[in-house]
Amino acid sequence: MAQFEPVKDEIAKHGSLLFIAAQKRGGMIADPEKFLQEHPAPAPFLLDEDRAVTKAYGVYKALGIDSVNIARPATFVVQQSGAISFLYLGNNQLDRASIDQVMFAFRQAK
């Protein structure tokens, strides 16, 4: 999330940014509300507690070596028409799209 802080104004001029985490509020292992209080997100943050969004977008992962009942890291650039113009789906919980990749796709989509 922090990597988007320097570009949040550019994104806001032409679109919007939304973070989604497949987590429960007040989780035993990770408490996303506490984390967000300590590290505010540069954009709205949705907790997908029932995994409906992550399942709908095909990034839900029931079981893996590095995860249980969570989403694979994914980044989407969605055009105003609803078409997905960029999708990065991580291979593991640490694999994320670079900010350069995301911003290139964002700039191309507008």
Domain limits of the chain?
Answer: 2-109
Q: Is CATH 3.40.30.10 the classification given to domain 2-109? A: yes
- Which residues are paired to 86 by β-bridges? 77
pLDDT digits (tens, 9 = 90+) for 19-71: 988 888 876 667 888 888 898 888 898 899 899 998 998 888 777 766 666 78
Q: So what's the pLDDT on residue 105?
A: 93
Q: What is the pLDDT of residues 69-106, one digit of tens each?
A: 678 889 999 988 888 999 999 988 889 999 999 999 99
Rounded Cα distance, 58 and 12, in Å: 26
Its pTM stands at 0.77
Confidence check: pLDDT of 110 > 80: no
Supply the Cα-derived Rg of the chain in whole angstroms: 14
Kindly give the pairing relationship between strand 67-71 and strand 74-78. Answer: unpaired
